Each structure stands twice: as C-alpha cells, then as structure tokens.
Amino acid sequence: MNLRFTNCRILSSDMTVTDNAELITSNDKILFSGNASEAAKIAEGMAFDRVIDCDDDLLMPGIKDAHTHSAMTFSRSLADEYCLDDWLHKAIFPREAKLTPDHVYWFSKLAYAEYLAGGITSCFDMYFHREASAKAAVETGFRHIFCGAANDFGGFETLEDNYNDLNSYDPLVSFIMGFHAEYTTSEKNLRFMAELAHKYEAPVFTHISETKAEVEGCIERYGVTPAVLLDRLGIFDYGGGGFHCVWFTDEDREIFKKHDLWSVFNACSNLKLASGITPVYKFIADDMKIAIGTDGAGSNNSLDMFREMYLDTVLSNVETHNAAAVDPAVILKAAVSDGAACMGLNDCVSLDAGMKADIIRIDMHHPASLPENNIVKNIVYSGNPGLVKMTVVNGNILYENGEFTTIDIEEVRRKTASMVRELA
C-alpha cells in the first residue's frame, strides 16, 4: 500500500515538531517525511492507494509497548483485590492452567484491538501459546515481538526452538531470549539461560526487582540482588534488560548501565499491585536506556500507554519535591523511539525515510490538544487514547476513526465473553 499524508505535522526524532509537512509511504516503508514542497516532487508519478488530508494533525511514530502480556486481557478486572504474589498464585496461575491456544489467539486479538485504538504499533510480549499469538498478530497485521517466558514450570526446553522458529515465522514477528523471573527459576535453569545467551550471543530480558519481597527473597537465596546475580551468571553478557526495576539499588543501576541494558517501566501495574513507585528520575540522571510498557491487562488494567507516559513523568515529582523531576520529552522518546530499539526494532524508531511505516495520527483538533503551548507536553500530560485517529503498522492502515480494518471487534467481543465463562 502506498499512502500520502498531506497537510500534517510530524514529530521528529529529536522530539520537535515539523510544521507544513507531508509523509509518503511505499509498501511497508516510509519513503519521505518532511517539507511539503519536497514531497510534491517525490509524489510525482507515484500511484497512491490513499491520499489523506491530515487537517494539521500530528503524525508520530507508533507507540511501543515494551512490556506486556497481551493475552492476559482475559484477566482484566479479575481478582483486583490481590497483591502481586497472591494475584499470581491464587487468581492467575490456576486460570492460566486452563488456557488453550484458541483462548490465547482471541485474547491476543482483543489486546491488538486495544493497542491499535491507543496508538500502539508493536508490543514486547511475554506469554505462552506463542504460535497462537503469532497467527493472530500476522492476521491482524500487528508487530508482535515475543520475549521468552521460561521458568521452572516450563519453557526452557523449547526456548531454543522458539528462538529459531519465531524469528523466521513472519516479518511482523520476532523472538528475543527471556525468562520469567529469578524467583520462579532455579539456579540450574538460570545457568542454562546464560549458556543459551552465549551460544546465540543474544540479549536476555526478564522481570526484575518488581517487588521488595522478590529482592529480599533473592538476597536470602543468593546473598545478592537479582541484577547482581544475573550479571554474575553471565546472563546479560550480550545485552537485554529488565521489566519493572522498581526496587533497584544504585549497584543494580550500575550493572544495567555497564551492560547497556534496558530498564522497562510499568508504572500503573506497580501502583495497582502495590509493588511500589520506580524512581524514574534516577535512571534518567544516570543516562540509562529506558522504555515503557503497560504490563498485562490483569494488573494495569488497561493497555493505555498515554497513562503510562503521564505517570512515568509525574510520579517522580513527589519524591523529589520537584515539579520538573522528569522531562516529558524524554518519556515520549522512550515510548515512541527507544522502546523500538529495546525490542530490536531498529527500523521503527522514527518517521525518517527508510524506516518501517509504523505511524499514528494524533487529533490536534481535540480539546485536550489545545491550546498548543507545547505539543510534546500536551501529548504526555494531557493525551489519552481518544486522541488517536489512525494507526498504521508496516504500511497498512489497521485503525481509523474508531474502526478496525483487520479485526472484527464484534466477533472478538462474542468469543472472549464466552471464553471468560469457560475459564471461571
């Protein structure tokens, strides 16, 4: 599909806004973005499937959800009364034992619909029955990056096959090494993880320091924090990173900095599960690589990256007694650009020519976008999923003005409603 977006503004990779712009896509890629008069030359002789007058709206790179459990939409507003440990063991694990690939297929589709409606163009997803999600992602046209979720209950035996199979499955799908968490993984399995990372010279991701109890447990077991342990085992020798990072020590941050690892924040989930508040300002002060995720719909409970961006910006203020503890432009960059690099999507970091056409259109006529004292701040402080007018993934329009082009939301609604009853 070739698309021409006229009369738009474009968020540049340095988080400034280019006025009087156009953007042209050719199949899955951005062919041009920038000055409208230059665009006219490029467009000459091209055939377009759609010419879209953006009416001065903003085009920006799609938002990257850098930590999620997509199919956990089944557990939205379920067992909300539990803290992380109880929530996992009493509410989630028993239901997950019943989940079939068909369940995961439909609950993944529901997640993709919510991602697309909220401007999210790719997710870094840790879950199982991955072949079912992969099928749903490709059918939807959504960019789905899997993260290994192995733990002592299973997954290590198939990790290498997943890595090889899912990385050659479809251009929209890839797989990054990972395991669930130190607290669900024996030392033997952790050592296996390190071997595999070395064999493939692969980055590894995991849940890390999400709760105080988890860190205390690791210290009890090994005498050190999870980050120190995993570093010593060589798991991070080829990069990767951690999800949550709420209870990081200064030493943990140093280890992450040393290996150039990604710290992925999940503010809503951490608040809701009473896990804690990540001192985002410290990670930024240490010039660390940061990205942002929603976590699953069971613990968030939405897949709304606008709310995450807001909280990652303002939650540091109270602790620091500083209303400008975190620069909203840094957080927006983490959400739309750095998140892509975190999940290995180096061709999805900006709207520059040559990048993949993962693009969203933000309504600049919505009252929450007005007045335009500062567009970047408006998005981070005042944005919400209702501002997303269009979502394009890999050059295809998947969502426009409330309608999905590849998802039958009524079918998803019916199927997931009956499946929720099956799992109860």
Region 316-355 residues binding its own copies, contact defined as CB under 8 A:
317-318, 320-325, 328
φ/ψ of 155, rounded to 5, equals 115, -30
Whichever of 166 and 336 has its CB closer to its own copies, that residue is: 336
Residue that has been written with the tokens 């474009």 in this structure? 10
Q: Centre a 10 Å sphere on the Cβ of residue 36 and count the other Cβ atoms it contains.
A: 14
When binding is defined by CB under 8 A, the residue of 83, 188, 221, 346 that contacts its own copies is 83
Smallest distance, its own copies to C-beta of residue 407, A: 9
For the window 99-138, what string marks contact with its own copies as x by the rule CB under 8 A?
-----------xx-xx--xx--------------------
Per CB under 8 A, which region of 14-22, 120-128, 191-199, 301-309 contacts its own copies?
301-309
When binding is defined by CB under 8 A, the residue of 302, 347, 353, 406 that contacts its own copies is 302
φ/ψ of 45, rounded to 5, equals 85, -10
Cα(63)–Cα(115) distance, rounded to whole angstroms? 9
Per CB under 8 A, which region of 31-39, 63-71, 77-85, 128-136 contacts its own copies?
77-85
3-state secondary structure of 39: helix
Smallest distance, its own copies to C-beta of residue 208, A: 19
Please give the structure tokens belonging to residue 236: 């991070």
Strand partners, 262: 241, 289
When binding is defined by CB under 8 A, the residue of 18, 301, 350, 396 that contacts its own copies is 301
Whichever of 231 and 308 has its CB closer to its own copies, that residue is: 308
Q: Is 266 in the site for its own copies (CB under 8 A)?
A: no
Cα(66)–Cα(391) distance, rounded to whole angstroms? 17
Interior CA angle at 121 toward 120 and 126, to 5°?
85
Pairing of strands 173-181, 403-404: unpaired
Smallest distance, its own copies to C-beta of residue 400, A: 13
Q: Is 58 in the site for its own copies (CB under 8 A)?
A: no
Of 109, 69, 74, 70, residue with least CA distance to 423: 74
For the window 155-184, what string marks contact with its own copies as x by the rule CB under 8 A?
------------------------------
Q: Binding residues for its own copies, how many (CB under 8 A)?
A: 76
Whichever of 76 and 144 has its CB closer to its own copies, that residue is: 76
> Is residue 192 a contact partner of residue 200, using CB atoms and an 8 Å limit?
no
Whichever of 232 and 377 has its CB closer to its own copies, that residue is: 377
When binding is defined by CB under 8 A, the residue of 14, 44, 81, 161 that contacts its own copies is 81
Considering only residues 9 through 48, tell me which ones interact with its own copies, judged by CB under 8 A: none
Smallest distance, its own copies to C-beta of residue 181, A: 18
Q: Centre a 10 Å sphere on the Cβ of residue 409 and count the other Cβ atoms it contains.
A: 14
Whichever of 141 and 178 has its CB closer to its own copies, that residue is: 141
Q: 122: Cβ–Cβ under 8 A, 6 or more apart, which residues?
A: 62, 64, 65, 142, 143, 144, 145, 340, 343, 345, 348, 358, 393
Cα(283)–Cα(396) distance, rounded to whole angstroms? 35
Cα(281)–Cα(183) distance, rounded to whole angstroms? 27
Q: Is 144 in the site for its own copies (CB under 8 A)?
A: no
Q: Is 248 in the site for its own copies (CB under 8 A)?
A: no
